[in-house]
Amino acid sequence: MKQEINRHEILEKITPVIENTAVRYNLIPIEIEFIKENHRWFLRIYLYSYDHDITLDDCENVTRSLNDFLDELIPVKYYLEVSSPGLERKFKSDKEFVIFKGRRVSIKLKTPLEGETERIFKGEIIDWDDNEGLTFLRFEDGEELQIPKSNIQSAKLYID
pLDDT tens for each residue of 73-86:
999 999 999 999 88
Q: Are 155 and 97 in contact (CB under 8 A)?
A: yes
Question: pLDDT at position 158, please?
Answer: 83
CATH 3.80.10.10 matches 95-157? no
State percent of the chain over pLDDT 70.
98
Question: pLDDT at position 124, please?
Answer: 94
Question: pLDDT at position 1, please?
Answer: 45
- For the chain, 160 residues long, the average pLDDT of each consecutive 10-residue run is 78 95 95 93 94 93 93 93 87 89 92 88 93 90 91 88
Domain boundaries, the chain: 7-83, 95-157
At the top level of CATH, which class does the domain 7-83 belong to?
alpha beta
Q: What is the pTM of this model?
A: 0.80
- Who's near 34: CB < 8 A, 6+ residues apart? 7, 10, 11, 14, 41, 42, 43, 44, 74, 78
Question: pLDDT at position 2, please?
Answer: 55
Question: pLDDT at position 115, please?
Answer: 84
